[in-house]
Structure 1
Amino acid sequence: MSPRKSAAAALETRDAIVARAVAVASTDGLEGLTIGRLAGDLSMSKAGVIGHFGSKERLQLAALEEAVGIFTRTVWEPVASRPAGRERLLAICDAWVAHLESGVFPGGCFLAAAAAEFDGREGPVRDGVVAALGRWRAVIERDVRAAVAAGELPADSDPAQVWFEWNAFAMGLNQALQLHGDASAPDRARRAMRRAIGVPG
């Protein structure tokens, strides 16, 4: 096998491991990732799995990075070209709810689960979750400020409050879908998120 084909095969194997790790972690948690489980699922040796990452923690971080990338591609990228402000906020609202409703991850919202799993811990994985949510918070708050500057939202609108409420609604929606199978929850979440920025549901 040529070096180029060997490198491509290694990358393909790594991508397969990460994809499976994301699926497993979405239902069993990032701590539920085990080298033995992934090796068995992918018909690989444990050494073959760990050789791509070096440690369980680095595997967890790779799964988190991929999950964040999926969220970005399905929620942010389709609306990123919209004008900043209320129009894009409404588009984000719809895309975020649709992402949760469509079951992109088998265990529901990956970030919601990871946030609950690591909120009382320390270390690089927790830091990665905090950083990912922080970037998303910055997106929401930026568009709230743009909407205020354009006169689309009241001057006293608080970007941090909008983020707090939207994040809470998204986590509540995830729980309603995953734990209770509540088919009415997506519409409730959309209405709640719209009301948080003064738009009738």
Structure 2
Amino acid sequence: MAIVNNMTSNERPAVRKGEQTRAAILDVALEVAARDGLEGVTIGILADRLSMSKSGVFSHFGSREELLIATLKEYEVRFLADILKPAVTEPRGLLRLKAILGNWFTRLGHENEQGCLYISGGVEYDDRPGPVRDELVGMIEGWEKELERAIRQSIETGELREDTPVDLVIFELYGLALGFHHSARLMARNNGSDMIRQVFERILNQYQRVA
């Protein structure tokens, strides 16, 4: 029994170091992906940035495909933490829905100089079948389900009309995000943050229940 305990104790620092190294790799991978897209993320670039060997980076993921999927998963964790976690302090219903949308578009504004992986990844992988595209599609579907849940809760609280077309509202909101990204990134316009809030308020106002 003592031998087993000693082995467990000795292994823990190595496990923690491995987790820290993996986290550091993903931090850099996210930076590269935000600037150069997912296609810019390679084992060699990460090895150079982290002063590691390629085999050292490779050992944490096994393949470039696994690296890209892990990068997407880490992006999703941070995306949801920034948007949903602060919003749940608001009561269920329209206040929470508006908080979620406000947090989402605030994050888009912060990502203006680099880009949103949901959007840029969609452009890169919209016609490229495979596990990376599948992961990205699943993430976006998951995000749409969070929007759907918040909209339906607003219907349940009576703040939005029962006939609110949930799928259409999600489509409009996603289109708004894409339009903002295009305006800020391609057209280099700096008035998008103010306009985006006006538009999403307008979208929601047309479905609010009149007292």
Q: Shorter-chain-normalised TM-score: which range?
A: over 0.9
What corresponds to 1:116 in structure 2?
A: 123
**Partner deviation per Cα, 1:108-154 (whole Å, 9 max, x = no partner):** 21211111211112111111111111111111112222222322112
- The AA in structure 1 aligned to 2:143 is W
More displaced stretch, 2-11 vs 124-133 = 2-11
Say if 2:80 is the partner of 1:72.
Answer: yes
In 2, distance between residues paired with 1:55 and 1:163? 35
Structure 2 residue 161 is matched with structure 1 residue 154: yes
What amino acid sits opposite 1:118 in the alignment?
Answer: Y
Residue in 1 that maps onto 2:114: 107
Return the TM-score normalized by structure 1. 0.92
Q: What residue number does 1:59 align with?
A: 67
* Counterpart residue type for residue 198 of structure 2: R
CA contact (8 A) 1:23 1:106 kept: no
Q: Is the 8 A contact 2:26 2:74 kept in 1?
A: yes
Post-superposition shift, 1:16? 0.7
Q: TM-score, normalised by structure 2?
A: 0.88
Cα deviation per residue 1:139-198 (whole Å; 9 max; x = unaligned)?
111222222232211232111111101111112212222223322101111111111111
User: Letter of the aligned partner of 2:178 in structure 1?
Assistant: M
- The answer on 1:47 being equivalent to 2:55 is yes
Taking the aligned partners of 2:45 and 2:109, their CA distance within structure 1 comes to 28
> Relative to 1, partners in 2 of residues 1:190 and 1:199: Cα closer, same or farther, differing over 3 Å?
farther
The answer for unaligned runs of 5 or more in structure 1 is: none
Residues 30-89 of structure 1 deviation map (CA, whole Å, 9 limit, x = unaligned):
122111111111111110111110000000001000111110111111102322221111
- The number of equivalent residue pairs is 199
Deviation (angstroms), 1:106: 5.6
* Alignment partner of 1:127 is 2:127: no
Paired AA for residue 53 in structure 2? S
SS in 1 for 2:205: coil
Q: Judge conservation of contact 2:113–2:185 (CA < 8 Å) in 1.
A: no
Counterpart check, 1:21 vs 2:29: yes
Could you say which structure has the larger radius of gyration? 2
Q: Which runs of 4+ in 1 moved over 6 A?
A: none
> Which structure 2 segments of 5+ residues have no match?
1-8
Q: Does 1:178 align with 2:185?
A: yes
Identity %: 36
Greater displacement, 70-79 / 110-119? 110-119
- Pick closer, same or farther for the CA change 1:94–1:199 going to 2, 3 Å: farther
Give 2:19's aligned residue. Answer: 11
Distance (whole Å) between structure 2 residues aligned to residue 33 and residue 111 of structure 1: 15
Aligned letter for 2:139? A
Equivalent of residue 193 in structure 1, options 200, 204, 211: 200
